[in-house]
Amino acid sequence: MSRDYANRKPRNAKPRSSRGKKAPAKKPVPFGIILFTVSFAAGFIYFLYWLATSDAPTPVEPAPVVKEQTKPKPKPKAQDELPPKPQQKWTYQEELENKQIEVDIPESEMVQVKLYQMQCGSFRKESQAEQLKARIAFQGMEAQVKRTEGTTGLWYKVVLGPFEGKRKAESQRHILQRGGINGCKIWLWQ
What is the C-alpha separation between 184 and 143, in angstroms, rounded? Answer: 12
The gap from C-alpha 71 to its chain's centroid, in whole angstroms, comes to 58
Q: How many residues does the chain have?
A: 190
**Residues contacting residue 125 through CB under 8 Å, at least 6 positions apart:** 156
Question: pTM score, two decimals?
Answer: 0.43
The superfamily in CATH containing domain 116-188 is: Sporulation related repeat (3.30.70.1070)
Confidence band of 140 (pLDDT split at 50, 70, 90)? very high
pLDDT at 134: 95
- pLDDT tens figures, 49-107: 888 887 766 677 777 777 776 766 666 656 677 888 888 777 777 788 888 888 787 77
145 beta partners: 158
User: Do 189 and 118 meet the contact criterion of CB atoms below 8 Å apart?
Assistant: no
Average pLDDT rounded to a whole number, residues 170-188: 93
- pLDDT tens figures, 117-136: 999 999 999 999 999 999 99
pLDDT at 21: 63
- pLDDT tens figures, 143-157: 999 999 988 999 999
User: Residue ranges per domain, the chain?
Assistant: 116-188
Query: What three-state secondary structure class fits 158?
Result: strand
What is the C-alpha separation between 159 and 118, in angstroms, rounded? Answer: 6
pLDDT at 17: 59
Question: How many other β-carbons are positioned within 10 Å of the β-carbon of residue 47?
Answer: 10
What is the C-alpha separation between 170 and 131, in angstroms, rounded? Answer: 22
Residue 41 has pLDDT above 90, yes or no: yes
Q: What is the DSSP string of 55-101?
A: PPPPPPPPPPPPPPP-PPPPPPPPTT--PPPPPP---HHHHHHH---
